[in-house]
Structures are given as structure tokens and as C-alpha cells.
A and B are shown apart, each in its own frame.
Chain A
């Protein structure tokens, strides 16, 4: 301990040492400083001293502007248990993270990584002496526990996630090299490995998205380590039917409330996302310090207050009751937020998206509930016709406060993956003559008494657009689109659904058309990109193709050549160097825009979680940051180094 202490004394703490000696302060002297909130526990012996809590090589976290001071509560609003990603985005607890601007992957829980020449083997190095939030050591065994007992358990994870697959679909090999090193071996080069790893943070309430887990805690819920009788008793006591349900809850901190984690804040006293106020408090064993040796996070705790609906949450933001949040704040409220910012004691910053389109109309390519509707959704001319009939200028003015640009769901012009203006603006010109000609051309010539087109079989054509009103004013956009389509004789109606039924219908292939945002354009080759029918969860692009690919062609629907090409591109890009990846990405987005499986409307706006309210006293919040789901914004801006100036 003494040698470790000496080795890691930083400049700042030696100053402190000198100072404290100079002032004649008695008592122990540490290499690092901990939060005053924990002083009582440390002096009573309930908690080890800060030096013993930190790993031997803690992460030295950059701060956005200045070294901070301890204390305070970060208040956020959430919409209940289904809003679990509200938590995920704050803690962003992964082995490696995306940098704030999204430009690269940086070490986080993992100290670093190495790979072999052809990128088929990756070694992840952990921090020696690193601890879980309950003080138990975090070692390579915790990755091996995930690999052997979670990923390797067919009941928990029936089909291997894409990122862990070899080219033949078998599971990649993971080996423990030492207590702090784990090696992944793929049978082919895998250049997207780190990007994939940056998304394995338990997001989406899915154990699919884990890559390390506290074996010492979870073994009590796993049949390989616990007797059947004990486990059954626990399962029924928790009100579940099978052990996998209990395990899936206990494996994620925000559902379990007790599961140790490595995040900056951990659930306080068993608090979960099912609570009215979900409280997470300082993790005394958090592995990062600032450049002066202060253990992070600066802020003591984060409180997620439950709001029954989005409007009251927005009202709370206007009233200054939210300290840092972009999620659920409607861009349409931007003027109200701006006008009340002085009174509410906050400032408003915007994080425009990386590209894509902030409201896209996704057409299910494998819809089978109604054969005639399914055929029409698969018809490319139909989709082109509908794209040309949309008045994007009106959508921009009425739903996007006049900002952004009309575009398809491709990356931003400044992004290397940008496929060119021709594709970004393909089919976005409003021209009802083109629309009507195309619609007549595909046999939708008969009309009913109200002037709406009939299907070739004589049935009424009526498309259901499923909209989740949780984000953005997609319902209004849907309404404008419905009116535009009516102009060319295509009847459609909006169906407002809550997130949960909407997602369930996505998965069960029951959605015809949905409105969502085209995020992930900066990351088409990692995580769960919207372009890949195999993604889970995916948009409603082609659920049966996903099923087909996962079942090895036994179930579902075979992909069209275009969709097959998209998947081939993604697979090839994972094995390719950067230059080839850029080429492939551009090809992907050309195919994407050309086939209009998703009709883009307006993009490059801060509509989706990009209007951010920040407490006037909160510091170290990035003014500019990448905003995308893979980045877990604001997780990528390092909330653990936010602090209050007063």
C-alpha cells in the first residue's frame, strides 16, 4: 500500500500534503481526495479510504472547462419504467466510451486495448485493483462470467448478437489472459470491435447489451451456481415464472436496485426505475479522478423524478426544476424555454444530430398481415411517389421551427460517410405530378367516392402510420404527411401508441409504417444500426428478414437483393480498414436513399433530445457535442465531471 501510494502521488496531492503539514493538520494523508459526503463513512471505518477504493491506475478524466467542487444533486425527469434509457444515457457505463464529439473511442472501465496485425484478436486490459460499487474486486473473471454464463447460456441469450459472431455465425472466442486481461479472437478481422464494445452498456433494458457483469452478485440468480430449489424460491418470491426473468432484472442496476455496478452513480437503497423518484448516488468506488486527483463524480446524486406525461416534464424544465436534460424536451418548446431561461435559472444549449433525418417514415418491407398492403409497401415506385408528395418546407416551418434541411436519412455533409447531395436530396422535391404519374403507373388508378385510390384488388388503401408521441412532434408531422398524401389520393391515418406496444408490434411484424428518427447514421457498422434488418431492436424496416437471418433461413422472409447488399456491406465493413469503410458506407447510403425504405423529411436539427436545459450554475457541460443514440448523449459528455459553481 505504501509503495502504491508513493507511486501515484500526483502533483496536486503533494501540494496538499505540504500544505496540510504546513498547517499542522494531523491525520492520514492520501494520494487522492474523496467527496466530503463519504467522510463520515470513512472515519467510522464503514468505508475504506479513498486511495484504497480507487484502482491502482484510475482513469484520469478530462474536464470540459475546469476542475470542479463536490456536492449537489442533478435533477432530471423521466417517464417511468419504460424510460430506462434515461438512466443509461446519464451513466454510460461501458468498457470503452465514445468521445464527446463522437469522433473516437476512448478507454473507460477498461484501461486500454491492443489488437493483433489484422484486427482479428483484441485484448482488453482492465484496471488492477478496480472495484465494483460494493467493494468487490472487478477482474477478468467478470468478463468471463458474462461470456460463459450469460452469453453462453442459451436460455438467457438464444441467438448470438451480431457483434460476437464469427463470419460463419459461430460465437467468437473469449479467453482470460490474466486477472486484468481478456482476449477476443474472431476468425476474421473485426475493425468495428471497439465501436461495438462502446455500445455494450446494458442499454435498452437488455442483457444482450452487457459485456461484463458482477459474477459475485449474479451467481445467486444463476442455475449453474445455485441449487434449483433455492433459485425457484427466489424466482417465485420475486413474482416471476422462470429464472431468466429474474436474472434479466437482477443483471441490470436500474432494474435490480441492488446490483453492483461501475457507474459514477449507483441506485441508492435499492431504488429502481419503477420508483416515483429514482435516486442514484455516488459510487464510492468509482474508478476515475480529475487531473488534480479528486475522485469523480463531483455531484453527489442524480434524481430522476417521475412525470406522468411529457408536457408536465417540459413545464418543470421551464420552471427550473431540471438541471441537465435534453430527453423529452420538445423542440417546439424551444421558444418558451428561451423566454423563461432567466426566470427559471437555466440556459439552453442545442446538440444538433449527426445527420440522418429527424423524422423518417419507415415502410415495413416484410409486412404480411395484409398481402395487398404488404405488396404496395414493398413497391419502390409507391415509396418514391409518396416521398415526392410531401411538402417538406411546411414540415420544416411548422414542426422544426424553421431550422434544419429537407433531406433523406443519410449522414451530415461534413461526415466522411456522406454519399453526396444527389442522394441526400433524392426524391425530396415536392412534385405531385411525379407522384400521381407513379401511382397511376403501378396500377392504383381506381378511386373511391372521396377520391382516394383503391388497391388493385378493389379494397380501400388505408395505411396506418404508428407514432410514439414520446419524442418530438412526430404526431404533427404525421398529420401533415397524411394531408400531403391525401392530395395524391393515398389515404393514411395516424395511430398514436405508447412506446411499449409500439416496440412489441415492431418485433411481431405488425406495423405497416412508423415514424422514427434516422439516427445511427454516423455508426452504420456497429451497435444496432437502423440500416441493418438484423439489428435488435431495429426499426420496422424488415422484421421478417431479421428473423430469417437469425434462424439461418428457416423462418421469416428472404431479403431482397438490395437489403442483402446492405447486410453484405455492413459485414464487409467490419473487416475492413478505414478507407474501405468510407467507400462501403457511401455505397450503403446511396442504396439507402435510392430505395427510400425510409422517407426522410427534415434533418440536422436538435429535435431529438438535442434541446438541452442546463442549470445556470452547472459547469463543465459541453456547449458542442455529438448527439446520437450510440453516443448515449449526454453520457458521452461525461456527466461525472459536471459540477455546481455555487
Chain B
């Protein structure tokens, strides 16, 4: 493999373990040294778990509105009341008759007892079966009003639950779109680089064409042309496809460049001599040598996709209500009353920032680690 190109004298200082370790182990060791990336990895895993089971972590149906519950500020959870306890204070909302503003007062007389792993509304586990167990739930759901960890929006919907469900949509759109664009990028980049000639010409000109058009107007045009009768799911898939169809070109270029170098390598020539089919050579022998590089590129592409989805939805062109994504949540907070009276509605922005930074640092670490021999 690529060890062939490394100067053997450099290897002298390495431990024996290093000399015999497989590639993935080298990558892992190198990655562990990158502390920031390592911890970012944990954050990303946590976010992925939330994205997989938002219902478990949320406290209320994210679509449920409350007639007299708009703009409630975030509620705190208390764990000490002359001894260990687990409760929140009830909040009382009253409309100010002069300014017509909903004003909330914490009622320290009334405690709302909470419990872990309690019962609440019914949610679907990965679309397979239903459950009503939640990480945090009311102890007396029949008596007490729901608590709102991040407050409520103008329709009295629970912001905490909406952010969690938004995580699922935004993250999965990022993952799916990147997956799609990676597949297209590797496939087209691979055949372009391997075959060369006319195939290469056509694919490269296509890439240039796509890259020469600024992506934002294409996204806007494509999203605007989606039929409005489509359901949330259809719209979700369409947005994913739109994001993917424009972003594969960068990766395709990189893969092609690598292939142009690789196809003259000994192991490729050897495979050719052994009578392997062209497709087998490309996808069985050549692509795996790029895998670490691809993983790094992919990790760095996900946050870009998340940002893309967020801004499209923020502009009202991506997902639209009743779909919930970070972009949709931010779009709904894009008005005077939210900014002035309910700043907690901006919190989905924090979710975007944390996720994007974590993924970027992780991708950075992976890229550094991806070529452990350098």
C-alpha cells in the first residue's frame, strides 16, 4: 500500500507495534492524541443519540399548542428542598391588560414533582414501535401542567421538545445528504479518474458547469419549485436530494485526482494483470485506499449541510412548518416579538453552533489522523 512511497529510514524510530499495526489502529492512536477532536467525538455521539430518540428526551409532544401558554420563559429544575428532591416550580401566566403581554410569575408555593423514566405522551421508537417512557416526566401527569425547560413559543409549544425533534431532522438531513453526495462523488469521480478520456472530459465539464453556478440560487430555485402539496416527509426527502445533488462535485474532483495517481500504482497494475474487471479494480482496490480521506471529508461536509438546511429553512425555502428543524425554529423566531420578548426562542441557534463546531473539530481531527504515516 502507500507504505511503498514512505522513506524506510523514517520508520526506524517507531515502536514495533507501530510497524505491524494495521492502518485503522494507527488512525485511532493518532486521533486520540487530538484531545479536542476526541471530546468533540463524544458530543457528536450524544447528539446522534438524541437525534435517534428525540421522543425519549423530550417532555411534551412538540406539536401540542397551549391556549394560554405562549411565551413562557425557561423553567428551572430543582434538586434540593431541605433534602434531595426533584421538582420544578409552577408558573402562572397572566396577560397584562395594558400591554397585552403574557407575563409569567414563578409560583414558589406550588411545586411540580418530577421523576426520571416516567410516563408521558406516546412517541415512536425509530418508527418501529411506540413507547411512553421519557427521561424526564411529571410525577403526576394528570394533575400538573407540563414543564418547559426551554420555555414556550408564541403558540405555547414546548421549545425543549421542538429543539430535540429539530435535532433529528437537521442532523439526519445532513447525514443523508452527505451520504448521497459522497456516493455520487465517489462513483463519478472514480470512473472519471480511472477511465480518463472522453468519460473524464464529460464528467469534468459537468462538474465545472455545476461549480460555476452559484449554489444558493440553484437551491432557492429548486426548493421553490417543490410542490407545496407534498407532505413533510416528501419535502424532507426532496430537500435532502437537492442539497446532495449540488455538493458532490468537490469530492468527485478529489477522488478523480487521487485516482489519476493511483491508477499507475503497482497494486492496480497487478490487479489489472490478474484479470480483475474494471469496476472491481475501482471499487474494491482503489476506493478503500482513500477511505480514511473520505471519512474526514464527509465529517467536514456534514456541518456544511446542516448549515445549508438551516439557512434554506430560515429563508422559508427549505422545510416549512409543521416540519420541525433548526432552520424552521429559527425562522419562526425571526420576528420582533421573539427577539424582544422571548429571547429563549433563539436557542436553536446554539444547537446549530455546538453541533457544527463539534463536527468540524471532529472532522479536523480525523483528517489529521487519516494519514498516520505523515
Binding site for B on A (CB under 8 A): 311, 314-315, 318, 330, 332-336, 338-340, 391, 393-394, 397-398, 401-403, 462, 464, 476, 479-480, 482-483, 493-496
Contact = CB atoms under 8 A, between A and B. Distances in A.
Contacts of A480: 65, 155
A482 B231 CA distance: 13
A398 B154 contact: yes
B335 A311 contact: yes
B229 interface: yes
A464 B228 contact: yes
B154 A397 contact: no
A462 B154 CA distance: 26
A394 B336 contact: no
Given A336-B337, A336-B341, A397-B67, A476 B155 contact: yes
A402 B229 contact: no
For A311, A336, A339, A496, which residue has the most chain B Cβ atoms within 10 angstroms?
A: A336
12 contacts: A311-B334, A314-B336, A315-B336, A336-B341, A339-B99, A339-B101, A340-B340, A393-B67, A397-B70, A462-B229, A476-B155, A496-B320
B159 to A, nearest CB: 15
A409 to B, nearest CB: 23
A398 B70 contact: yes
Contact of B96 (A311, A333, A335, A482): A335
B239 to A, nearest CB: 16
B69 to A, nearest CB: 9
Contacts of A332: 154, 335, 337
A334 B95 contact: no
Contacts of A398: 65, 67, 70, 154-156
B68 A311 contact: no
Interface in B58-113: 63, 65, 67-68, 70, 95-96, 98-101
A345 to B, nearest CB: 17
B322 interface: yes
A372 to B, nearest CB: 14
Contact of A479 (B321, B337, B341): B321
Nearest to A339: B99
Contact of A333 (B68, B322, B337): B337
B316 interface: yes
B337 A401 contact: no
For B100, B155, B336, which residue has the most chain A Cβ atoms within 10 angstroms?
A: B336
B233 to A, nearest CB: 11
A398 B65 CA distance: 9
B322 A479 contact: yes
B336 A318 contact: yes
A462 B70 CA distance: 29
A242 B208 CA distance: 43
A22 B64 CA distance: 78
For B63, B320, B321, which residue has the most chain A Cβ atoms within 10 angstroms?
A: B321
Contacts of B96: 335
Contacts of B316: 496
Contacts of A311: 334-336
Contacts of B67: 391, 393-394, 397-398
Closest 5 CB pairs of A and B: A335-B101, A338-B99, A401-B100, A394-B67, A336-B340
Contacts of B154: 332, 398, 476
A402 B103 CA distance: 13
B68 A493 contact: no
Given A480-B155, A496-B316, A335 B336 contact: no
For B96, B322, B340, which residue has the most chain A Cβ atoms within 10 angstroms?
A: B340
A464 B228 CA distance: 9
A538 B189 CA distance: 57
B335 A495 contact: no
A308 to B, nearest CB: 12
Interface in B209-232: 228-229
Contacts of B228: 464, 493, 495
Given A334-B99, A483-B65, 14 more contacts: A333-B336, A334-B100, A335-B100, A336-B336, A338-B98, A338-B99, A339-B101, A397-B70, A398-B65, A398-B155, A401-B95, A476-B154, A480-B65, A494-B321
For B316, B335, B341, which residue has the most chain A Cβ atoms within 10 angstroms?
A: B335
Nearest to B101: A335
Given A335-B96, A401-B95, A493-B229, A483 B63 contact: yes
A479 B156 CA distance: 13
A15 to B, nearest CB: 44
Contacts of A496: 316, 320
B339 to A, nearest CB: 8
A494 to B, nearest CB: 8
A595 B341 CA distance: 41
A333 B341 CA distance: 9
A335 B334 CA distance: 17
A335 B337 contact: yes
Contacts of B334: 311
A83 to B, nearest CB: 19
A403 B155 CA distance: 16
A394 B68 CA distance: 8
B153 to A, nearest CB: 10
Contacts of A464: 228-229
Contacts of B68: 397
A214 B156 CA distance: 55
A480 B101 CA distance: 20
Contacts of B98: 338
B96 to A, nearest CB: 7
B341 A335 contact: yes
B100 A338 contact: yes
A390 B95 CA distance: 23
Contacts of B320: 496
A495 B341 CA distance: 28
Nearest to B157: A398
Contacts of B63: 483
A40 to B, nearest CB: 42
B333 to A, nearest CB: 11
Contacts of B322: 479, 482-483
Nearest to B232: A493
B155 A402 contact: no
Contact of A402 (B65, B95, B336, B341): B95
Contacts of B65: 394, 398, 480, 483
A339 B95 CA distance: 14
Nearest to A394: B67
